[in-house]
Every structure is written in structure tokens, then in C-alpha cells.
Amino acid sequence: MKRIVVVADDITGAAEVAGLAHAMGCRVRFTTDPTALAGEEEVTVLATDTRSMLPGEAVRAMVPIVEAVRALELPVRLFKKCDSALRGYISSESCELSRAGNGRILVLAANPSKGRCITEDCYTIDGVPITETTFRYDPEFPARTAVVTELVLGFSYCKVGEPLERFSIGESRSEADIATWVEQLDEETLLVGAADAFRALLRKMGYVRPTAQEPFGGLEGRRTLIVCGSTVHHNLCDEPLFQRNKVADSPMPDAVFAGGSPAAWIEQGRTLMEHHDYLLLRIPQAVPDFLMNYDRREKAICLRDRMAETAAALIAHRPPEELVLEGGASAFALLSVLGWRHLSVVGEVAPGVVRLRCEENGIYLTFKPGSYPWGPMFQ
């Protein structure tokens, strides 16, 4: 049976598919190291941060991955995990990765199981065009069109039952549509998609061995640092868990948001950690709509780096038992600063919310995409 190598453009998406594979009984390797693809695991998930790079940087990051896949002795099925809201450099990254196969690509980015569908070349969330959702405020990839072929340039829209082009985006009105596409796909065509497409691929390849998950007892009584680097979330202070446990809320100060040093914010966090088991770092400010794309990207990078610097300093001061990370770019930046590269999958806490364990120090990490609900974790 072929191994699967997943290349994800952000770390929360990587964690999501790693959790799916684990739940279906696969042996999973989760890493941020592109040289660590070899192993006996059935699924290797490589988390990159290319969504936060410039386009040319993102494509160049794919080159050594293609070579590493080609060098593997065992046969491999490559899967490109992309954002289910079509953010990132899907077209250019996929074209580079497709060199490991026959050069054909099928994009199934929608997640119908979560109300995210592609119909008549239009992307909708719960029936609403993506341009009318909070994704229009994304600091790096604001949704300015709902036309899928304008979001993924150079690709053709194909309805279910139609022959595929060399670069195709498949109609995805339902999970059945996703399954139909995956079943007819040849082994050399690069499949690019979100969680629903990956689940269908696992089923096609025979990885349907649901396994008992390690029960998650919740965060009660465990020293926890929660880092919300995403700009698409509500105030977690309103969640029942925080209401019960007197969460220490530490929002990013305006001076840090404006680009200043986080030194005072770090010192405040250290003080709060001495008296509270729960500490929340978050960004309450909104990135101004009037900023141009380049300025929005620079702002996002600044916020990511300030958040990572602050969280790393607090972890060094008083290591938590649980680290909860919302938002892929800030999560990847934090792990890079800390030097944590290899994680073991523990299980799913909620759909798309996955708990892992750092192999270097035993700290538990829970990853969540910014646009997904928290589910029962904070009840």
C-alpha cells in the first residue's frame, strides 16, 4: 500500500489532516522539517508556512520537497493540503509540486461538510458568497471575488461527470461530489484539497480503520497558555471555561499593534502567569480595510512575529502543560522560535481542532484554524 505525504501551507491545516489520518487508524508522522519525510508511517504530514511567504518564496520552498519525495524508496501518493477558503498560493505551489507526478492537478478545496461549497464556479459558505463573509477582512488574502477560477488562476472549472483539464477545479456541492472526483482520479495526478478531499483519499486507499481516540479530559486544572494570532475569531473571554476559571486576559497593547516592542506586554504576561492557570494572548484590534495588499501583508507579519516573541518568552518563563494555538502563521512562527519540529498526534478535540504532543518536551499543543469554531473544548 502506498504511503501518503501531505504538504500543507500552514500548520493548523497540517494538524487538521494529521488528526483525520490518526482517527482513521493511520500511523502518522507530523513534522515541520522537509528533510524528515522518510519513515515507516503510513501518513507523513509536512507543515510549511508558505501561505505567509511572498509568491516566489513559496514556490521555491516546494523545490526541495519535490526532490525529497522523488528520493523516497517506497511508492508515495502526494497530497497538497490547501486552505478550504482558497487563501494562499494554490496555483503556483501546486504546479511546482505536480512535477513529482504527471503534471496534472485537481483542486477540491471546498469542505461541503462545513457548508463550504463550489457551485457554478462560485465559492459559498452556508449559501453566502465568500465575499460577503468575514474572509473579506483577511489581512493577507482578503476575499475580493467569489469566482473560483479568479481565485485560482490558470485553472478550469469542471462539473461532476465532465472530463478533467490538465489544471482543474472540481465542482463540490456535497461530500458525494468530492468522493466521485477522488474515486476516478489516477494515481499520478496531484490532488489538492481540504479536509473533505483528504478524508475521501484515505477511504479510496483503504485507510478506513477507525481507532479509539485518547479521551480529552479538558483543560480544567491544567496550566494553559492560549495564543490567538488569528484576526478571525471572537473574544474567548466569553467562553464558559474562562468564565469559570478566571482567565487572565492579556490583549495586545495598541503600542505593540502599531509595531512597538513587546517588552512591557511580556512583563505583564509573566506577572499574570504567577497568579492564574489560564492566560490568553489575543489581538483585539482590526487590521484597517484601507491598507493596500503589500501593507496588509507587512502588518500581518509584524503581528505574527510580535505574538510569537511574546508567547515564546512566557513559555520560557513558566512552561505550560497545555498550549492552545489559533491561527496558522503565528503558530508556525512560535514553533520556529522555540525550535519544536516533531509532534505526535493525540487526537481530534473537535472537527479541525487537533491535539498533539511535542516530542522534545512533552507539552501538549492544540491547533485550531482561525475560521473554525472551538466546539466543546471551551464549554
- pLDDT tens for 202-228 read 999 998 776 666 667 777 778 999 999
Q: Are residues 195 and 288 in the same domain?
A: no
Q: Given this model, what pLDDT does residue 193 score? A: 97
Q: What domain range is 311 assigned to?
A: 224-378
Give me the pLDDT at residue 246, please: 78
The whole-angstrom separation of Cα 326 and Cα 219 is 16
CA–CA gap between residue 19 and residue 257 (Å, rounded): 33
d(CA 50, CA 234): 26
Tell me which of 154, 173, 204 is where a domain ends: 204
pLDDT of 294: 62
Identify the domain boundary among 146, 169, 204: 204
Whether 186 is covered by a domain: the verdict is yes
Beta bridge partners of 105: 167, 190
Separation of alpha carbons 169 and 346, rounded Å: 33
In this structure, are 71 and 131 located in the same domain? yes
Contact in structure between 67 and 53 (CB atoms under 8 Å): no
By the 8 A CB rule, do 136 and 201 touch? no
Q: What share of the chain is helix, strand, coil (3-state, %, to 5)?
A: 35, 25, 40
As given in the structure block, the three cell numbers for residue 308 are 510569537
d(CA 187, CA 184): 10
**Contact 123/110 with Cβ under 8 angstroms?**
yes
Q: Do 197 and 249 share a domain, yes or no?
A: no
Distances (CA, A) of 154 to 52, 99, 103, 126: 22, 17, 14, 26
* C-alpha dist (Å) from residue 81 to 199, 220, 221: 11, 33, 35
The pTM of this model reads 0.89
Any idea what the CATH number is for the domain that residue 266 is in? 3.40.980.20
Asked if residue 162 is part of any domain, the answer here is yes
Q: Which grid cell is 177?
A: 461530489
**Residue 271 resides in a domain:** yes
Task: Give kind and range of the element (H or E) at residue 58.
Answer: helix 55-71
Give dist(CA 327, CA 215) in Å, integer: 24
| Cα atoms found within 13 Å of the Cα of residue 106, Cβ hemisphere only | 27
188 inside domain:
yes
54 and 200 fall within a common domain: yes
In a domain, 167, yes or no: yes
In a domain, 193, yes or no: yes
Q: Are 191 and 229 part of one and the same domain?
A: no
Query: Distance between CA 140 and CA 236 in Å, rounded?
Result: 23
Q: Give the pLDDT of residue 93.
A: 97
Q: How far apart are CA 140 and CA 51, in angstroms?
A: 9
CB of 319 within 8 A of CB of 340?
A: no
Total domains in the fold of the chain: 2
Residue spans of the chain under pLDDT 50:
none
Q: What is the pLDDT of residue 295?
A: 80
Check: CB of residue 349 under 8 Å from CB of residue 355. yes
